[in-house]
Structure 1
Amino acid sequence: MNIRELLEAQTDKNPDKVFLYFDEQEITYKGFNENINKAANVFLSLGVKKGDRVCFFLPNCPEYLYGWFGLAKIGAVLVPINTNYKTEETKYIVNHSEAHIILVHSSLKDVVDKIRSETPLLKTLLLLGEDTGDRASISFENALQGAPSDLGPTDIDEDDLCEIMYTSGTTGPSKGVMMTHRYWIINGYGYSYPMDVKPEDRVFTCLPFFHANAQGYSTMGALTAGASLIVVERFSASKFWDQIRHYKATVFNYIGAMLTIISKQPESDKDREHRVRAAYGTPAMDKKFEEYMERRFGITFVSGYGLTECGLCLIQPLYGLRKEKSMGLPKQIPSFGFVNEIKVVDENDREVPRGTVGEIAIKNPAVMKGYYKDPELTKKVIRDNWLHTGDQAWMDEDGYFFFADRKKDVIRRRGENVSSLEVETVINAHPKVLESAVIGVPSEFQDDEVKAFVILRPRETLEPLDLIKWCKDRLAYFKVPRFIEFREELPKTPTHRIQKYKLKGEKSDPGKDCFDLQKTGFKLR
């Protein structure tokens, strides 16, 4: 099955049922599918063909979904761009994906304007939002209004490429994860089945569409179940429960610090005045916090494990035993006729005994097709059809998985992956900097904070806040270091590689005797 077939089958079943709630809009399955067809016709009129890449630089909105599925229906490929990205990151994705068209929101157009001279293949700018007066752009809203709502036949296979999603790398720029139609359909059923999503459910997301969670779990999860999807533009702790009540949500997803932030809101008599029965997210919670959240809000919280490179990973049983701090068991979809195989292996790809830490390896049809234009890395990561995740874990005697550590040099901050190498590259480009090392340090919000150790060039001085401003202009806000510590030297191996494990072990308080951005009041956005 491909995405077009799924969309049209669910529309035939539920034409007048509301699929999408956004702001005050209520869009039925029929209206949703017609708007998708309009988007597909807009792209066809612009010359988009099967396999062509189109970049989206948009906040959460219905047009994101119309465009994504419109591209899918004609066999074209979505390339989402994180809306927090600045010029360098955006330019890299546009050029590497070889996109000829970008759909951008008017609030982000200035970033695209700054890179137009350095993105020679980018020919067409579709604009969403208020008119900026740019005659070189095309209004996406106007184009949709004038497009036909029916779509002719298209030749699409479930193994055709549907999306390239760029995820932070450890040894260089972001890697383009290639996702097929089958990847997304299995991803959706891999959420709706274990979370027991029914047609009467309303799945709420405040997570961004440029990440796999909101696309795969929320959108495809709702679609595969014939349920409804509620979308808001972003997470707001102060508005969260009011939004949940207003839209009568029954299921939601969370990542990173969201639950910690929600838990710190003042307790209220309204805490249980909602219809939510279950919530899914990562990381796994400790028992005390989980029990407090479930007692306070009356919700079953289910933890799991996932990564962009695979659409079917781990989840705790919704109705079974949920072990403390566990990522759960391999997701299975009985009706699909395959077994989701997940194991823990050593450096020689041999499965290790239960209780022994090793690398998580996954084998199922929802593994990515590979990294775009990087066959060597693809071969390194996918070996004998097993995806080697780079994450360390161990399995107990009952088959439950427990996270141990990240093998990859990736920092997890605000629910985002941050490449330490990418941050170091920006810092090292400062004319007064000789060398730097960037690590993740513990945060009060479960994820990491970014800390930079910096060596200046001889006889140079540099204010930490000036370095922060340098990074702010070149990196997404969540990549900018919170802590900066100037050093005379860094610990190194005999071959001059920086020993980051020593930096991580030096202080129990990462902010001691160094610059802490949080104490300055300086705003990154």
Structure 2
Amino acid sequence: MDIVGNRTLRDLLMEKTEKHFDKKFLLFEDREQRRFELTYKEFADQVNRLSNVFLDLGVTKGEHVTLHLPNNLEFMISWFALANIGAIMVPTNVLSTSDEMEYILNHSESVLLITEEEYLGKFANTRRNLPNLKEILLARYEGDAYENQDLKALIANANNQIPTVPLDAEDVAAMLYTSGTTSKPKGVQITHANYLFTGEVMSKSIRLTPDDRQFIVLPLFHGNAQYYSTMSALVVGASIAITERFSASRYFKQAKNFKVTVGSLFAAPIRMILAQEYCSDDKNNDMRVIWFAQSVSEEQLKDFEEKFDVPLLQMYGMTETVGVPLMNPIDGIRKNMSIGRPTIGYEVKIVDEDGDEVPNGLSGQIVVKGVPGRTLMKGYFKNPQATAETLIDGWLYTGDNARLGADGYFYFVDRVKDMIKRAGENVAANEVESVLCDHHSVYESAVIGIPDDMRDEAIKAYVILHENETITEEELIQYCRERLAKFKVPDAIEFVSEFPRTAVGKIQKHILRQMHNERIQKA
């Protein structure tokens, strides 16, 4: 038996509730800066009640339920209530468009949608195209028009008995959609065992104790907030403070008010915090570590740590690896220009195109060894080909290039996949290209990531129009705004007559990037 055994999320919550009955578990600040709190006992009670609401609505084990919610308590309660009955949470980005949500709801075969009143509009015209969707429930609802769909009222009127649906550690508990190199996102299947394993790995990698308090400002629909923050806190019986939105100007003020001790950020939020007017009092906080992902300059690292007196730890992980396979050591030498060393439970190596390990210092693809459904994702939903291409002989092929230094630390190089990293969000270039090419004026498009001081990368599209067609850059960007989430919309579009190509006709995007860089240098 491994560290997880056959425990499930239901088992874990019951265990921690019994041990930390009246301890504060969740603290939440909404966008109007109102505060809410739940103890372990209160949270478990809400979870059990909502579990029975789902059962009364006919939700059964193995069925998918989509959460289209910002950070709030209802997200957390819904996540664990679904796990309680063996149903599968499908968390989605609230910035997703109507078209994007129609695809996810249909692909996941979701039978229930939980959202808020302000997002109902994006489902109004697509409801008839969603044959599996039986009901929509509304969180934080205040009116009368949808009282039968009011999540709060349904919970209040439900019984709080713990469901008895049989569960197994390797049952799927969630499906997180991630951008791929194809035009449509893939559903990454995450099991109960996956969640418990990553909680164990992360809690031990940062020495988390029951006295710690995690600070979540990143979106709960992402793996980062679920895997590394929530699960690490729960497995040790710690507490969690959540904000509805990230605020660069208030980050450390919120951290002090919540008395948090550990946090998680991406590179872009770090730069945004540094861009604010500095308040020396922000240094007087209780935080002992913040882990982060993606490239931050040495100067920015030094500036952040000196201004706020908090050590940073760079790490590497992805939705499919579940846990964090690489991280700078909390008790060792921190080399934050690297993505760290292997963590507990993982083996990592760098391989060439044939899958053979390369010598130290040479670039190759990061591959992570593990067990699907326990230490790695179970697979991609309804996509056996993509699963087989990613999980090979117990190794997960990440699509990211790195090199292993003589010092034993891994150093990120670039992405194998045609992926753009924009302020912490993965954007598949092919997805944006597909939308552009749907426009009747566009003959062909090529999308690249270009350097951006604040957001890591901005999105630039090169477009060839059909003969005798005309359209402006702003008109085409607006077309994308109506069909893509905000973070996927191109920042700039350049019209060209032809693309640089290989002998077999493949667009040479590295030359497009070179063209852009040369133009910037001349400006």
Normalising by structure 1, we get a TM-score of: 0.94
Separation of aligned partners in 1, 2:110 and 2:388: 25
Contact 1:257 1:446 survives alignment (8 Å): yes
Match of 1:322 in 2: 334
Contact 1:127 1:137 survives alignment (8 Å): no
CA drift of 1:193 comes to 1.1
Match of 2:280 in 1: 269
CA drift of 1:497 comes to 2.0
Q: Does 1:438 align with 2:447?
A: yes
> 351, 362, 366: which is aligned to 1:345?
351
The CA RMSD measured in Å over matched residues stands at 1.7
Deviations 1:246-305 (A, max 9, x none): 111111100130001101112222121211111011114333322221111110101100
Count of matched residue positions in the alignment of Structure 1 and Structure 2: 508
> Gapped runs of 5+ residues in structure 2?
1-6, 30-34
Deviations 1:318-371 (A, max 9, x none): 121112411001111xxxxxx411111111111111111111111124210000
Q: Does 1:452 align with 2:464?
A: no
CA drift of 1:510 comes to 6.4
Match of 2:417 in 1: 408
Q: Does 1:419 align with 2:419?
A: no
> 188, 203, 206: which is aligned to 1:195?
206
Provide closer, same or farther for how the CA distance between residues 295 and 156 of structure 1 changes in structure 2, counting only shifts above 3 A. Answer: same
Contact 2:421 2:427 survives alignment (8 Å): yes
Separation of aligned partners in 1, 2:427 and 2:116: 24
Separation of aligned partners in 2, 1:256 and 1:289: 10
Contact 2:218 2:225 survives alignment (8 Å): yes
Match of 1:495 in 2: 504
CA drift of 1:486 comes to 0.7
Match of 2:369 in 1: 363
Find the residue that maps to 1:220 and give its secondary structure: helix
> Gapped runs of 5+ residues in structure 1?
333-338, 515-525
CA drift of 1:133 comes to 5.8
Contact 1:106 1:132 survives alignment (8 Å): no
Q: Percent identity of the aligned residues? A: 39
Match of 1:179 in 2: 190
CA drift of 1:137 comes to 6.2
- Within 5 Å, which residues of 2 pair with 1:273-292? 273-292=284-303
Task: Give the counterpart letter for 2:183 in structure 1.
Answer: G
> 23, 39, 44: which is aligned to 1:17?
23
Task: Give the counterpart letter for 2:107 in structure 1.
Answer: H
Separation of aligned partners in 1, 2:145 and 2:510: 50
Match of 2:3 in 1: none
Find the residue that maps to 2:432 and give its secondary structure: helix
Separation of aligned partners in 2, 1:392 and 1:444: 22
Q: Does 1:248 align with 2:259?
A: yes
Deviations 1:161-187 (A, max 9, x none): 011100001022000000001111111
Match of 1:115 in 2: 126
Task: Give the counterpart letter for 1:416 in structure 2.
Answer: E
Contact 1:285 1:303 survives alignment (8 Å): no
Separation of aligned partners in 2, 1:83 and 1:511: 34
Provide closer, same or farther for how the CA distance between residues 220 and 328 of structure 1 changes in structure 2, counting only shifts above 3 A. Answer: same
Normalising by structure 2, we get a TM-score of: 0.94
> 63, 84, 100: which is aligned to 2:95?
84
Q: Does 1:55 align with 2:66?
A: yes
Contact 1:125 1:137 survives alignment (8 Å): no
Task: Give the counterpart letter for 2:450 in structure 1.
Answer: V
Deviations 1:394-443 (A, max 9, x none): 11223211101100001000110001111111111112111111011111
Separation of aligned partners in 2, 1:465 and 1:132: 38
Separation of aligned partners in 1, 2:483 and 2:147: 26
Find the residue that maps to 2:478 and give its secondary structure: helix
CA drift of 1:513 comes to 10
Task: Give the counterpart letter for 1:315 in structure 2.
Answer: M
Provide closer, same or farther for how the CA distance between residues 293 and 52 of structure 1 changes in structure 2, counting only shifts above 3 A. Answer: same
Contact 1:284 1:304 survives alignment (8 Å): no
CA drift of 1:488 comes to 1.0
Separation of aligned partners in 1, 2:302 and 2:423: 23
Separation of aligned partners in 2, 1:122 and 1:51: 15
Provide closer, same or farther for how the CA distance between residues 510 and 217 of structure 1 changes in structure 2, counting only shifts above 3 A. Answer: farther
Separation of aligned partners in 1, 2:278 and 2:66: 42
Separation of aligned partners in 1, 2:297 and 2:91: 34
Contact 2:369 2:395 survives alignment (8 Å): yes
Moved more, 490-499 or 26-35: 490-499
Contact 2:214 2:261 survives alignment (8 Å): yes
Provide closer, same or farther for how the CA distance between residues 225 and 510 of structure 1 changes in structure 2, counting only shifts above 3 A. Answer: farther
Match of 1:396 in 2: 405
Separation of aligned partners in 1, 2:14 and 2:522: 60
Q: Does 1:483 align with 2:489?
A: no
